[in-house]
Structure formats: C-alpha cells, structure tokens
Amino acid sequence: MTSVDPTFGVTKNPKGTTLYVKGENFACPAGDCSHIKVRFTNKNGDRIVVQGHFSGGEVTTIYPEYPSPETLDVDISFNGLDWSNDKVKFSYIDPFVLGVKPRLISPKGTTKLLVEGYGMAHTGDDSKQKIAFKHYPDNKLLTTGGHPAEKVYKVHNENLVEVATFPQAEVENSGKGIEFEPFTVAIMNPDGEFDPNDIFLYYYAEPDVKKQSAEFAYVNEEKVILFDVDFKWGQNHPDIFRDYANFTCRFTSEKNGTYVKYTDAFMETSPIGSMKHGALADQIRCRTPLWDHAGDVVRLDVSFNGLDYYGNYPMNMVDALSTLRISPLCGPIDGGTKVNIYGTGMNSSVPQEASVIVKFGTTHSQQVDKSNIDEIQWSDDDYHDELHLSDKLLKIAETNYPDVDDK
C-alpha cells in the first residue's frame, strides 16, 4: 500500500463514501479476489475489517463508521491472512474545540493560537481546514476587509492545531472595529459549517513596560525583578487580565540566541505587600533563572500572554556569589567582631560599587517539647508586631482577603 483516497472521512460516513486503496504488486491469488480485506486499526490495537474489491489496479471499499474522531492505520490483504502492514493513515474527522491558548491576543496580529480538542485530522485540503473568528456571544462571523475572518489552521496532531490571528485594526463586527469585545474561534466541521463554542478571547491594548529594577544578577541566584507597567486600565480590564493573562519573563543570551530561559511573572500593586484596597496593579514581578554562563549579557522581555514579548532590556549575568571560608569562626555574643569572608563574585556587581549584604542567622536550633513551655501565652498582637505589620493593615487585608490565614 502507498496511499488511500480520500485521506479523511466523516465518522458516520452518511453518504457511503468509497475509499480507494492504491499501491504496488496488487494481485489476486490464482485469480480469486473474493478474500480481499481492508483493515482499520486504532492506537489501542482495536480493528475493523471490511470486504474489499479489486478493479483497475486499485482496491476499493466503503469505509466503515467509527464512534469518534481518530486517525487509524489502514492495511489490506488479498487472502485474508497476510497483511500489507504499511500503516497508511486514514483520519476520521469531527472536530470539537475544548480549549484555546492564549486567551489574550496581541493587537499586532502576531499571536499564534493553539486550539485543543479532538478530531482535528490533517486533511491535506486547505478548504476543509479552516477556523472562523466569531463575535461572542451572538456567534456572528467577523470580517476583515469585507471578507469573512477565516484562517487555514496547521495540524500538530489530532488533538492540537495552530492558527494565526489578524491585526486588531483589521477585524470588524457589523462594519465596526472589534475593539476589546470578546470573540471565539470556531473550527470547520465535515459539513463545511463552523461549530460554536464559548471559549472567548480578547484583544488587549499593549501595556507600557518600563525598565527593570536591577542591572545584574548572580548566575546562582533567583533574583527578584520588578517592572513598572502602565497596564492601560482605561482600555484593558483588570478582571480579564487577572483571569486570562499568562505573565512570563524571558531571558535570552546575546552570545547564543538559542539559549533561552523563562520564569513565571506576577501582576501586583506596588510596593509589594501594600494591600491597597481598590488599587489596580502597576507592576510585574518575576525572578531571574539560574544561569549557566557567567559574564553573559541577556535580553530581558515580559509577556502578558506567554507568547508576545515586550522590553528587550539588557541585563548582566555575573559570577556566582558564594562563600568558601570565613574567619574567625566564632566571636563574643556582644558582637563587633570583624569577620573575613572568602569566596567568589563579591566584586561582580554592576556597578561594582554596589553593596554586598551579609546576613547572620541561626543555622542550628534545639527542639523543645511544647509541654515543657510554661508561662508563655500566644498573643496575636505580639505576633503581628514581630511581622512589623500594623493591626490596621492586617485588618484591611483580612477584609479584602477572607482566606488571608491560608495564604
């Protein structure tokens, strides 16, 4: 076997479509063609065997019904015993959308959507592999330049396809710009129609990302990086960003553009932990990744959807900060003893005049059973004082976040 035609079909085959099997060295044993079989095998090894017919150098059969969208292997036998085992593919299609990533779309039209579901077979026919952009919730087809807003999708596998988007300025709903209204992407079914779904997407106004808070990071630390951001809240909606944004920081080596690392980022209100009631986010926070190459200059970008990045700010990844030896190893409890610390990276900061901070803390402690502790009573006030948080601030936090104890 070399191929089948068509390469895909509808699960129920309501029209009784014929499948043509092509190949080489097709011949009926002793001229007896009554034992020709066509076998369909799924990924679990389950098989459907149907009768085949030989004519004009081809084997034909009406492909069988199948309960769900899936790609199967097709083999033939001329004696019902020996099979071709060439594993030529035939796909049952009936696509259905289960998810779309990302949900926030760049207004430049650079976002590539990953549409997840099932029954998304590669048909080889662009006219059958289309996705339509529709207004939500009325399911009305959007337009671009007076034409239907449709794109041909690329199949990764039967559960995942990729499709490009349009620039926001080109997309119209009833002759007006889509602006920041919700829309969906609907995939074409075998009947040439676009089945609706309720996985809505939004264009966003591009936030203004200002330079990061640090010029360097030690290669062995996960340093906190802060960006001041104008989120354009007059156009973007905080709840939509909170629900659907995928904040990400990307670090790309200038020396080797293929060396890239990503870290999760978070939208928050400055300063960290301020818990301002009703205040909208104005900064993004992420951490630097552990880096393998000291002395690298990296380009730092921020994304709001995990795909489209902004910034391209330079940052230095410097020698690891580490301690190899300290002297002396002890001193009086009154303090004041000068300690020499020997290690690496202590002159690597950018600029080099940046202070190196030394922290002293307990490394070992003795366990004490609670039953042996008396004349000490738990006090919320003392606990809050030790946290350096005022009762007023904590009460605000508890009002805004009922589950603050869990956090």
Q: Is residue 341 situated within a structural domain?
A: no
**pLDDT of 289:** 97
State the pLDDT at residue 407: 47
Q: Are residues 100 and 197 in the same domain?
A: yes
Which range is least confidently modeled, 53-57, 128-132, 338-342, 392-396? 392-396
At 406 the pLDDT is 53
Residues 88 and 110 in one domain: no
Q: What token pair was written down for 248?
A: 């990400």
Q: Are residues 53 and 147 in the same domain?
A: no
Q: Which residue has the higher pLDDT, 394 or 23?
A: 23
Question: Mind listing the pLDDT tens digit for each residue in 45-54?
Answer: 999 999 999 9
**Predicted local distance difference test score (pLDDT) of residue 257:** 92
Instruction: Give residue 383's pLDDT.
Output: 56
In this prediction, residues 114-132 reach a mean pLDDT of: 83
The CATH number given to whatever domain includes residue 72 is: 2.60.40.10
| Average of per-residue pLDDT across 263-292 | 88
Last residue of a domain, one of 63, 92, 121: 92
- Confidence category of residue 116, pLDDT binned at 50, 70, 90: very high
Structure tokens given for 158: 């039967």
- Higher pLDDT residue, 396 or 278? 278
pLDDT for the residue 405: 56
d(CA 220, CA 295): 12
Do 105 and 192 lie in one domain? The reply is yes
Question: Same domain, yes or no, for 68 and 105?
Answer: no
Number of domains making up the chain: 3
**What's the rounded mean pLDDT across residues 171-190?**
92
What tens digit of pLDDT does each residue of 85-104 get? 998 999 888 888 999 999 99
Domain that holds residue 313: 208-318
| Range from 125-134, 251-260, 339-348 that averages highest in pLDDT | 251-260
In tens, the pLDDT along 309-355 reads 998 999 999 999 889 999 999 999 888 999 999 998 888 888 777 77
Last residue of a domain, one of 180, 203, 226: 203
Same domain, 87 and 103: no
- The pTM of the whole model exceeds 0.95: no
Q: What is the mean pLDDT of residues 6-10?
A: 85
Please indicate, yes or no, if residue 77 is contained in any of the structural domains.
Answer: yes
- What's the whole-number average pLDDT of the chain? 88
From 203, 225, 250, the end of a domain falls on 203
Is the same domain home to 103 and 88? no
Q: In this predicted structure, what is the pLDDT of residue 266?
A: 94
SS (H, E, C) the chain: CCEEECCEEECCCCCCCEEEEECCCCCCHHHCCCCCEEEEECCCCCEEEEECEEECCEEEEECCCCCCCEEEEEEEECCCCCCCCCCEEEEEECCEEEEEECCEECCCCCCEEEEEEECCCCCCCHHHCEEEEEECCCCCECEECCEECEEECEEEECCEEEEECCCHHHEEECCEECCCCCEEEEEECCCCCECCCCCCEEECCCCEEEEECCCEEECCCCCEEEEEEECCCCCCCHHHHHHHCCCEEEEEECCCCCCEEEEEEEEECCCCCCCCCCCCCCEEEEECCCCCCCCEEEEEEEECCCCCEEEEEEEEEECCCEEEEEECCCCCCCCCCCCEEEEECCCCCCCCCCCCCCCCCCCCCCCCCHHHCCCCCCCHHHHHHHCCCCHHHHHHHHHHCCCCCCC
Does some domain include residue 352?
no
> Using 50, 70 and 90 to split pLDDT, how confident is the model at 127?
confident
User: What is the tens place of the pLDDT at every residue in 271-285?
Assistant: 877 767 778 999 999
Average pLDDT over residues 373-391: 59
- Determine whether 191 is exposed, middle or buried from the number of CB atoms within 10 Å of its CB (0-12, 13-18, 19+): exposed
pLDDT of residue 56: 87
73 falls within a domain: yes
* Judgement on whether residues 120 and 88 belong to the same structural domain of the protein: no
Whether residue 287 is contained in a domain is answered as yes
User: Do 72 and 128 lie in a common domain?
Assistant: no
Q: 130 and 29 share a domain?
A: no
Task: Identify whether residues 192 and 225 lie together within a single domain.
Answer: no
pLDDT at residue 238, as a whole number:
93
Residue 381, in any domain of the structure: no
Q: Are residues 266 and 232 in the same domain?
A: yes
- As a whole number, mean pLDDT of residues 206-221 equals 91
Local confidence band at 203 (pLDDT 50, 70, 90 cut-offs): very high
Query: For the stretch 317-339, what's the b/e string if a residue is b when 16 or more beta carbons lie within 10 angstroms of its beta carbon?
Result: bbbbbeeeeeeeeeeeeeeeeee
**Is 127 part of any domain?**
yes
CA gap 196, 187 in Å, rounded? 8
Residue 61 lies in a domain: yes
Reading the block at residue 208, the tokens are 């203004």
